Amino acid sequence: MSLKRFVLLPVMAFILFACTGNRVEEASSTAPSVTVVEPSVPAPTPANTPSSSQPLPTTTTITPIQNDNPSGDLALTQANIQLYPVPQIYAGDQVTFQIHPFVPASVDVNAVTVSVYVDNEHVITDVLSHRNWAGQAEGLYAWAWDSTNAIGSHLVRVEVDPHDMIQVGDENPANNVVEFSVDVGSSKNLPKAVKTAVWEITETDCCTLYTLTGTAAHRDIYTLRETVETAVSQAANKLDEYPARKINIYFIERTIGQGGFAGSDMVITYNDRKYTGGNLHELIVHESVHIIDRQFAPQRIKFLAEGLAVWASGGHYKPENLSERTAALIQLGEYIPLQMLVDDFYPVQHEIGYLEAAGFVTYLVDIYGYSTFRELYSETGSDDAATEYEALDLNLREYYGKSLAEMEAEWLAYLNGITVSETAVNDLATTIRFYNTMRQYQQQYDPTAHFLTAWLPPPREVRETGNSADFIRHPQSDANITLELMLASAEEALQATNFARANVLLDSIDRILATNSFVDPLATSYWEIVVKATGLGYEIQTLDFEGDTAVALVNTANKPTLNPLQFKLKPLGWVLTN
C-alpha cells in the first residue's frame, strides 16, 4: 500500500421556541446531530432585528485551540484524530488520517512515530511531519486507507511512539494509544450529484479553471471567468509583475479557512451559503498575489506576504481604507506591537494581524514608493536572521536606513494623525467580532474548516487521483445550516454597515455556541424554517426575513439550481406558503 504524506501548503476563512429551549448536541466532525425538544409555548415572534444605532456588544472571545496534556508528556486522545472525507466515510472513499498528538517542546516532532491499524490490519507507520499554525504537532497521511467494500463498523487503533523509543518526554506510554470505531456507510446513500461529480476545465486568458459538475461553481462558470480575469489583472498590475504561466484555480464546495488558499495552484471555496463572508474579488486578488509574488520573492516572510496581498486587494474582505482602518484598530485598543506580531503572525487574531501587516505595507508604499518596498520585499527572507522580526529589521536598515522599531514609531505617529470616522471604528469592531464567532462555530461544528488546523489537500493530486470528496463534502446537519445562515445574515448586515443588526445576530449565535441550545425567538425562526425545508427535501442557501415573512433560496441534493420558498409566521409557527 503506498503512503503519501503532506504538510500544509504555504499561503496564504439554531429551533423551536420553548421555555426550556431546544438542546443541540454538539456535533462532531464525523456526525453532527441535533436533539429537538417539542415547544411548550406557542409560536415564535417575528424575526425582526433593530436597525437603529446601539452600543456595540463586547467582542466575542474565541476559545483557543486546545492540544494540552496535563501530565506534560507525549500523549494522544481521540479528539486529536481526524479522518477525511468529512463528515462521514462512505465505502469507496480513500481515507486520510490527520493526527495531532501532544508533543512536549523538548521532543523533536520528526522523532515521533505514528502507527495506524484498521481492524488490526496495519495501514500506516510514519513520523510526524511538522507543527501547524496553531503550534500543534501534526502527522498527515493522505488517502492511506481504501474503504472500498468496507461497509459497516471498523476498529481504528492509533499509536504514537509504538516502540517506546522516546524515554524523556514520554514517561507514561499508556496514554499513547487510542482505539475507536468508525462507521463506513454505503455509497448508495450519497446524493447522485456527489457520486457522479467530475472535473471540468475552462480556459481563460490568465487561468485554467477547474470546477466539479453539480456544484455552484460549475453552474456559475461564465460569471466566474470574468471575475477571475479582473482579479488576476488587478493583482498583476499592483505588483507590476505578470504571471509567468497560467494560474490553475480550483473552485470547491467545502469551506476551508476564510475560503481560499494558494501554493503553486489556487483553491477557492465557492458555495451559495457563504458563511465566511468577504467578497470573491478581493479573495482571488489576494490569492493571486501569493502565486505571482513567488516569481520575485520566493522566500518572503509571512508578515510582509499577507500585508502585500491585502494591500494589492484594496482591503481584506472588501474595499477598505487601510490606513484609516489601522488607525481605528489603535482606537479600539487592539493594536499588537510588531515585535510580538511579526514572529508569531498566524496564531494571533487573524483580522488584527492581517490589517496591521497591510497598514504597514500601505505606509511604506505611500510614503516611500513601491519600488523601494519591492526591493525590501524581494530581499527579506526568514534565513536572513534568527527571527523574522530581526530579518525585517535588518533589511529595513538596508533599504530605508531605519530600524523596524524606528519605522514602527514613525508609522504609528502617522496613524495617530488620521481622523477616524465612527463608522470605521464600528465596522472594524464588528468585523473582528464576526470572525471570532465564525471561527468558534468552525471549532465546534466544522473543525476541519478552521484555518489554523485545516488540511489543505493538494488540488492537482486530488483531481488526478479522483478524490473529489475532500473538496465537496462537508457537515450539513440542520444545526450547521442554521448557524451558517445566521452567520451569512450577520455578514450581510455588516457589509451594509447595519452594525446593530449584525451584533444582534452575533449575540444569538454566541448564545447557541455557548449553550448548544436555541433560546431566543430570532434563532428559533431560523431553526424552524431550516427543519421544515429539510423535511421537504430542500437545503436552504440563503434566508431573508421581513417582519412575519421569510424568503429562502433552496436547492435539492442533486441540483445546484436555486429556487425560492416563501414562509409566513402563523400562530403555530412558520408555514410554507408556496
pLDDT at 58 (0 to 100)? 43
Instruction: Please say if the pLDDT value at position 33 is more than 50.
Output: no
Q: What is the pLDDT of residues 312-339, one digit of tens each?
A: 999 999 999 999 999 999 999 999 999 9
Sheet holding 559-570, edge to edge: 539-546, 549-556, 559-570, 573-576
Task: Break the chain down into helix, strand, coil percent, rounded to 5.
Answer: 40, 20, 40
Q: Residue 363: CB partners within 8 Å, gap ≥ 6?
A: 323, 411, 414
Mean pLDDT of 283-296: 98
Residue 286: pLDDT band with limits 50, 70, 90: very high
pLDDT averaged over every residue in the chain: 89
Residue with cell 509583475: 241
Query: Which residue reads 496564504 in cell numbers?
Result: 12
Cell readout for 280 is 470573491
80 pLDDT above the threshold of 50: yes
C-alpha cell at 410: 514613525
User: What's the distance, Cα to Cα, between the start and end of the chain in Å?
Assistant: 54
For residue 467, pLDDT beyond 80: yes
Which of 24-28, 380-384, 549-553 shows the lowest mean pLDDT across its residues? 24-28
Is the pLDDT score of 399 beyond 50? Answer: yes
pLDDT (average), residues 388-408:
99
In this prediction, residue 393 carries a pLDDT of 99
pLDDT tens, position by position, 558-573: 889 999 999 999 999 9
In angstroms, the CA 165 to CA 329 distance is: 49
How far apart are alpha carbons 375 and 361 in whole angstroms? 13
Check pLDDT > 80 for residue 106: yes
Residue 370 has pLDDT above 50, yes or no: yes
Most confident of 4-18, 29-43, 145-159, 515-529: 145-159
Kindly tell me if the per-residue pLDDT of 361 is higher than 60.
yes
- Strand, helix or coil at 459? helix
Q: How far is CA 478 from the centre of its chain?
A: 20
Domains within the chain, CATH numbers bracketed: 78-188 (2.60.40.10), 199-422 (1.10.390.10)
Residue 61 in this model has a pLDDT that exceeds 70 = no
Per-residue pLDDT at 25? 39
Pick the most confident of 32-36, 40-44, 106-110, 426-430.
426-430
Query: Does position 45 have pLDDT exceeding 50, yes or no?
Result: no
Q: Pairing between strand 559-570 and 573-576?
A: antiparallel
Backbone angles phi, psi at 272, to 5 degrees: -80, -30
**pLDDT, tens digit (0-9, with 9 covering 90-100), for 224-265:** 999 999 999 999 999 999 999 999 999 999 999 889 999 999
Q: What is the pLDDT of residue 72?
A: 83
Q: What confidence tens digit (pLDDT) does each residue in 63-72 have?
A: 445 556 666 8
Measured distance CA(472)–CA(182) in Å, rounded: 20
pLDDT, one tens digit per residue, over 436-446 is 999 999 999 99
- From 232, 400, 393, 409, select the one nearest 304 (Cα to Cα): 393
Residues 6+ apart with CB under 8 A from 556: 537, 538, 539
> Residue 31: what pLDDT?
36
Task: Report whether 415 contacts 218 (CB < 8 A).
Answer: no
- Tell me: pLDDT of 345 over 70: yes
Integer CA distances (angstroms), 537 to 130, 191, 534, 562, in order: 43, 12, 5, 13
User: Are 255 and 271 spatial neighbours (Cβ–Cβ below 8 Å)?
Assistant: yes
Task: In whole angstroms, give the CA distance from residue 166 to residue 107.
Answer: 8
β-strands 266-269, 260-262 pairing: antiparallel
Q: What is the DSSP letter of 242?
A: -
- Give residue 518's pLDDT: 86
Orientation angle between helical segments 404-416 and 388-400, nearest 10 degrees: 80
Check residue 258 and give its pLDDT: 86
Task: Take residue 333 and report the three cell numbers written for it.
Answer: 485598543
Cα angle 411-412-416, degrees, rounded to a multiple of 5? 120
Kindly report whether the global pTM for this prediction surpasses the value 0.85.
yes
**Are the C-beta atoms of residues 274 and 328 closer than 8 Å to each other?**
no
Percent of the chain at pLDDT above 90? Answer: 81
At 117, is the pLDDT very low, low, confident or very high (cuts 50, 70, 90)? very high
What pLDDT is recorded for position 422?
Answer: 98
Stretch 515-541: mean pLDDT = 95
pLDDT of amino acid 249: 98
- Mean pLDDT in residue range 111-123: 97
pLDDT tens across 119-129, in order? 999 999 999 99
- Main-chain dihedrals φ then ψ at residue 366, nearest 5 degrees: -65, -40
CA 433 – CA 520 distance, rounded (Å): 20
Strand 121-127 with 94-99, pairing? unpaired
Confidence of residue 387 (pLDDT cuts 50, 70, 90): very high
Q: Mean pLDDT, to the nearest integer, of 99-118?
A: 95
10, 143, 298, 384, 429 from 139: Cα distances, Å: 16, 13, 26, 29, 36
Q: Does residue 453 or residue 7 have the better pLDDT?
A: 453
> Span 255-280, mean pLDDT?
94
Instruction: Identify the residue whose cell numbers are 445566521.
Output: 486
The predicted structure's pLDDT at residue 4: 38
pLDDT of residue 558: 84
pLDDT at 556 over 80: yes
CA gap 530, 479 in Å, rounded: 9
| Unique residue bearing C-alpha cell 408556496 | 578
